[in-house]
Amino acid sequence: MKLTKHAHACVTVEKDDTRLVIDPGTFTPDAAAAVARAQAVLITHEHFDHFDEKLVAAALADRPELQVYGTAAVAAALGGQDNRVHTVAAGDTFTVGSIPVAVHGHRHALIHADIPCPDNVGYLLDEGALYHPGDAYFAPDAPVRTLLLPTSGPWTKLGEAADYVRAVKPEHIIQIHELMLSELGQHSVANLLGENGLTGTAIQRLAPGTAVQLQAR
């Protein structure tokens, strides 16, 4: 399975002839191009940096074969679209082409008591090969080989991120949700949380557009 990192929280995953995109938001300049090549789009929650509603709605209108999976709020924003928009929640499973997907988690991480926490789901792909948590430090009750680790945002905290990695116990970490950190900040976070830091697991920093091969668990 191949993963391509896009800016911020968006990634493309490919296996055999299957291509899916997770969290194409407004912070991702090439989100439209990524969605145009995918059979399915997976959305963790409705925040704009993960879900560009106009972009996804336009893609659904242009491509009758496109499928979208997301929370109830995402589905409501897009409408039924002839049963091509699917509401998912923790415990659900589905398959996109040759990629099995399991849904984990319930809520967005707390930003502040005055700011509502929307539903947020994480997607575990290909029987544990990859986990995208969205905006939450929720540890799935399943093995994870590669964890996509959010490292910046109004809800993130480095101590919680370290405990999260320790709970998940991934073999490999790729940094995502990084745009609120400078280059120096991203490097510092990787050092603090990485192989020689609090987790003992190396953190890979990928420039947007970089692709890597992932192995099944």
Residue 144, amino acid: V
Q: How much is the average pLDDT of 172-195?
A: 94
pLDDT greater than 60 at residue 203: yes
Q: How much is the average pLDDT of 42-63?
A: 97
Query: Could you read off the pLDDT of 76-132 as tens digits, one per residue?
Result: 999 877 899 999 999 999 999 999 999 999 999 999 999 999 999 999 999 999 999
Per-residue model confidence (pLDDT) at position 217: 57
Query: Could you read off the pLDDT of 149-166 as tens digits, one per residue?
Result: 999 999 999 999 999 999
pLDDT greater than 70 at residue 175: yes
Per-residue model confidence (pLDDT) at position 22: 98
Is the separation of the CB atoms in 209 and 5 below 8 Å?
Answer: yes
Is the separation of the CB atoms in 86 and 75 below 8 Å?
Answer: yes
Per-residue model confidence (pLDDT) at position 183: 93
Q: How many CB atoms lie within 10 A of CB 7?
A: 18
Is the separation of the CB atoms in 123 and 44 below 8 Å?
Answer: yes
User: SS3 of 74, please?
Assistant: helix
Residue for token pair 């091969």: 213
Per-residue model confidence (pLDDT) at position 82: 83
Residue for token pair 């993963």: 3
CA 212/CA 109 separation, integer angstroms: 28
CA distances from 34 to 7, 53, 163, 168, 204 (A): 11, 15, 32, 28, 22
> What is the percent of the chain with per-residue pLDDT over 70, rounded to a whole number?
99
Report if pTM > 0.75: yes
